[in-house]
């Protein structure tokens, strides 16, 4: 055993892959129908760190993993994050801040009843809600106060360690408690995961133009009169000749139009154009045909479909778009991403030119512009280092998680700046995200496991139980209020709670369970607000009680 411990301590790379391998094995163990999944890597790291303290991975490993993980989430979730404020964003953010305030009140009440100091209460709060940046802010606040009082360096060091002790005891159940809450309430409420690929079916339906209000108008004029139609006009038959529908195509009474969309969108199309037709002009491929093409050209990624001018260049139009595992009906303002697969309607002789223009390379959809990725991460780290002043003279930082996430959300929304494309192909994004998560979990686990045995022995059961109360208080309140009162879908809510916890391991478990991107969307919606709120609340708890 001593030989194994010495080998792990001398070879960080070996330790990293041992932890990942053991974690995956542990994550697949079925305990009464419950699996930890990729979160098993965290607990494997805690075990290795406790048994072999010298095997703790360098700090750069979890830091790098965290940056890569949150950046890739932000890039993918950016458009949805800002779009959510049109509907649910304010509600979700208020829920997050409310339950975090509740968690701070519970932590303060427990500290008073157990006779804990302010630094211990702050560490309990940070550990139960698994937030290392908040712990760092609380620790720095304790040190600043001690130095301001003129205390000797050894006392400053001892006081600075108080939040860390409570944090290390509360942290493990801060993860386990949330995972158990997902599992138990999901079973109690009989929640069945809904895979993200189960989107409304997209079909084609023909209509005869009978509405005199649109006869004589162009397709572009008609579409501009209505918002969020959700359908595309692919072909038009006029006097026995079928052509690709363009924005300048004039609609005539009696023309037949082929409309692509889901059932709800097709009902709207019927109200606009007139009665359905049995002509099925989309089945006639003698003049027009379609082909699926991959988007891989850097010249078109990040651009809106309307700006490509496919109708003018190739007499072609995009009728469907497949992103990841979901088929979408594109709008003129839809921006194309690396890896998108589009269905292009045109004449056969134009397909070669269209494919060359759009890229149509599977390899190209997997390649990533690491120059833009590196630039985005540099900007994120710089934003995380920027000091944010608070009332009373305190200063906080967003850190290596909050800074990259905020920058990635903005860049994901922008999608393109000049010649720089910020989007990452979805396949590469998921791979990078998984690598970042593994590095983070393995690194945090081995480093947190070092003092686990000692703190368990010295501090006893009361801090552990207090952490359990805070974790379950926040988790159960969020799930019950969110699902029962606010009617938030459970899969989205699990991601939202993971974001409130600012815990990638919880998000990984929620995503594995949901088999969709709904948890990722919930996570990104509240993560920035939760990060900032916990940094501020942790520092307030330090000053709330005497040290």
For residues 274-284, give the mean pLDDT.
89
Q: What is the mean pLDDT of the chain?
A: 85
For residues 403-409, give the mean pLDDT.
86
pLDDT in tens, 366-396: 667 788 999 999 999 999 888 877 666 666 6
Paired with 241 in beta bridges are 238
Structure tokens at 83: 């779009």
Q: Tell me which fold the domain 203-366 belongs to.
A: Alpha-Beta Plaits (3.30.70)
Question: Comparing 5-9, 233-237, 407-411, 485-489, which segment has the lowest mean pLDDT?
Answer: 5-9
More confident residue, 221 or 227: 221
With cut-offs at 50, 70 and 90, classify the pLDDT of residue 197.
very low
With cut-offs at 50, 70 and 90, classify the pLDDT of residue 301.
confident
Paired with 345 in beta bridges are 290, 317
- pLDDT > 70? residue 517: yes
Region of residue 65 (phi > 0: left; psi between -120 and 50: alpha; otherwise: beta) = alpha
For residues 272-290, give the mean pLDDT.
89
Q: What is the pLDDT of residue 400?
A: 77
For residues 40-49, give the mean pLDDT.
84
Stated as kind and residue range, the H or E segment containing 242 is strand 241-244
Q: How far apart are CA 316 and CA 318, in angstroms?
A: 7
Q: What is the pLDDT of residue 466?
A: 95
Question: Comparing 6-20, 72-86, 356-370, which segment has the lowest mean pLDDT?
Answer: 72-86
- pLDDT > 70? residue 312: yes
Q: Burial-class residue 447 by CB neighbours within 10 Å (0-12, 13-18, 19+).
A: buried
The sign one gets for the Cα dihedral 497, 499, 500, 506 is: positive
Q: How far apart are CA 316 and CA 347, in angstroms?
A: 8
Q: What is the pLDDT of residue 239?
A: 85
Question: Comparing 137-141, 265-269, 492-496, which segment has the lowest mean pLDDT?
Answer: 137-141
Q: How far apart are CA 405 and CA 81, in angstroms?
A: 11
More confident residue, 466 or 149: 466
Q: How far apart are CA 251 and CA 342, in angstroms?
A: 26
Q: What is the pLDDT of residue 109?
A: 96
More confident residue, 12 or 77: 12
- pLDDT > 80? residue 163: yes
Q: Closest Cα to residue 229, out of 204, 262, 276, 251? A: 262
With cut-offs at 50, 70 and 90, classify the pLDDT of residue 250.
very high
- pLDDT > 90? residue 256: yes
Q: How far apart are CA 206 and CA 255, in angstroms?
A: 10
Q: Closest Cα to residue 257, out of 222, 308, 224? A: 222
Total Cβ atoms within 10 A of residue 199: 12
DSSP structural state of residue 166? H
CA angle at 468 for the pair 31 and 18, rounded to the nearest 5°: 50
Quick check: 496 and 95 in contact, CB under 8 A?
A: yes
The separation between CA 524 and the C-alpha centre of its own chain, rounded to angstroms, equals 5
Highest mean pLDDT, choosing among 194-198, 448-452, 533-537: 533-537
DSSP string, 4-15: HHHHHHH-HHHH
Percent of the chain having pLDDT more than 70? 89
Q: From residue 475, give the alpha-carbon distance in Å to each of 108, 296, 493, 538.
A: 17, 42, 11, 18
With cut-offs at 50, 70 and 90, classify the pLDDT of residue 433.
confident
Percent of the chain having pLDDT more than 90? 36
Residues 6+ apart with CB under 8 A from 278: 206
Quick check: 68 and 436 in contact, CB under 8 A?
A: yes
Total Cβ atoms within 10 A of residue 210: 13
Q: How far apart are CA 77 and CA 436, in angstroms?
A: 17
For residues 38-59, give the mean pLDDT.
84
**Both ends of the chain: CA-CA distance in Å?**
41
DSSP string, 196-233: TT-PPPPEEEEEE---TTTTTSBHHHHHHTSS---EEE
Q: What is the pLDDT of residue 476?
A: 97
Q: How far apart are CA 377 and CA 157, in angstroms?
A: 33
Question: Comparing 198-207, 361-370, 488-497, 518-527, which segment has the lowest mean pLDDT?
Answer: 361-370
Q: Closest Cα to residue 223, out of 261, 191, 192? A: 261
With cut-offs at 50, 70 and 90, classify the pLDDT of residue 195.
low
- pLDDT > 50? residue 450: yes
Q: What is the pLDDT of residue 364?
A: 64
Longest pairwise C-alpha distance within the chain = 93
**How many CA within 13 A on the CB side of residue 162?**
22
- pLDDT > 70? residue 149: yes
Q: How far apart are CA 135 and CA 535, in angstroms?
A: 8
Q: Burial-class residue 125 by CB neighbours within 10 Å (0-12, 13-18, 19+).
A: buried
Q: Closest Cα to residue 137, out of 377, 394, 467? A: 394
With cut-offs at 50, 70 and 90, classify the pLDDT of residue 136.
low
* Total length of the chain: 547
Q: What is the pLDDT of residue 307?
A: 92
Query: What residue spans define the domains of the chain?
Result: 203-366
Return the SS3 of 420: strand
DSSP structural state of residue 250? B
- pLDDT > 60? residue 101: yes
Q: What is the pLDDT of residue 159?
A: 73
- pLDDT > 50? residue 20: yes
For residues 491-498, give the mean pLDDT.
94
Q: How far apart are CA 380 and CA 402, in angstroms?
A: 8
Q: How far apart are CA 270 and CA 412, in angstroms?
A: 36
Return the SS3 of 359: strand
Q: How far apart are CA 282 and CA 285, in angstroms?
A: 7
- pLDDT > 60? residue 199: no
With cut-offs at 50, 70 and 90, classify the pLDDT of residue 27.
confident
């Amino acid at each position: 055993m001593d030989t194994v411990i010495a080998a792990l301590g001398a070879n960080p790379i070996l330790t990293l892959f041992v932890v990942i391998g053991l974690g995956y094995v542990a994550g697949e163990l079925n305990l009464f129908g419950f699996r930890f999944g990729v979160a098993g890597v965290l607990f494997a790291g805690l075990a290795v760190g406790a048994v072999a303290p010298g095997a703790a991975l360098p700090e750069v490993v979890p830091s790098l993993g965290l940056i890569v993980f949150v950046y890739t989430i932000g890039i993918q979730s950016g458009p949805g994050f800002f779009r959510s404020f049109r509907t649910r964003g304010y509600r979700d953010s208020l829920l997050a801040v409310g339950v975090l305030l509740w968690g701070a009140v519970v932590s303060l009440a427990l500290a008073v009843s157990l006779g804990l100091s302010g630094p211990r209460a702050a560490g309990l709060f940070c550990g139960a809600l698994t937030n290392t940046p908040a712990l760092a802010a609380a620790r720095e606040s304790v040190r600043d106060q001690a130095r301001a009082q003129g205390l000797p360096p050894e006392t400053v060091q001892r006081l600075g360690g108080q939040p860390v002790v409570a944090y290390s005891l509360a942290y493990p159940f801060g993860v386990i408690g949330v995972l158990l809450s997902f599992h138990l309430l999901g079973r109690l409420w009989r929640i069945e995961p809904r895979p993200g690929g189960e989107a409304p079916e997209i079909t084609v339906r023909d209509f005869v133009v009978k509405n005199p209000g649109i006869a004589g108008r162009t397709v572009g004029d008609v579409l501009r009169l209505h918002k969020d139609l959700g359908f595309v006009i692919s072909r038009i038959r006029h006097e026995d000749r079928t052509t690709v529908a363009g924005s300048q195509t004039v609609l005539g009474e009696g023309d037949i139009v082929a409309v692509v969309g889901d059932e709800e969108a097709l009902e709207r199309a019927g109200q606009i154009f007139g009665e359905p037709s049995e002509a099925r002009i989309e089945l006639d491929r003698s003049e027009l045909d379609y082909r699926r093409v991959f988007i891989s050209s850097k010249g078109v990624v990040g651009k809106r479909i309307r700006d490509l001018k496919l109708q003018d260049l190739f007499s072609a139009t995009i009728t469907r778009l497949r992103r990841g595992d979901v088929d979408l009906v594109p709008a003129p303002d839809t921006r194309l991403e690396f890896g998108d697969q589009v269905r292009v309607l045109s004449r056969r002789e134009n397909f070669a030119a269209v494919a060359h223009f759009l890229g149509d390379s599977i390899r190209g959809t997997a390649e990533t512009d690491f120059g833009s990725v590196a630039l985005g991460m540099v900007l994120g780290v710089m934003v995380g280092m920027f000091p944010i002043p608070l009332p009373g003279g305190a200063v906080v930082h967003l850190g290596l998680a909050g800074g990259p996430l905020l920058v990635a959300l903005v860049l994901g929304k922008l999608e393109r700046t000049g010649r720089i494309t910020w989007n990452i192909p979805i396949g590469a994004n998921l791979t990078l995200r998984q690598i970042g998560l593994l590095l983070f979990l393995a690194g945090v686990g081995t480093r947190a496991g070092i003092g686990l045995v000692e703190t368990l022995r010295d501090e006893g059961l009361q801090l552990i139980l207090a952490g359990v109360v805070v974790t379950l208080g926040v988790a159960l309140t969020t799930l019950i209020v969110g699902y029962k009162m606010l009617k938030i879908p459970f899969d989205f809510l699990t991601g939202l709670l993971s974001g409130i916890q600012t815990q990638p391991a919880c998000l990984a478990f929620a995503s594995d369970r949901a088999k969709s991107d709904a948890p990722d969307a919930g996570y990104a919606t509240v993560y920035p607000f939760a990060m900032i709120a916990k940094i501020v609340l942790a520092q307030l708890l330090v000053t709330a009680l005497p040290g």
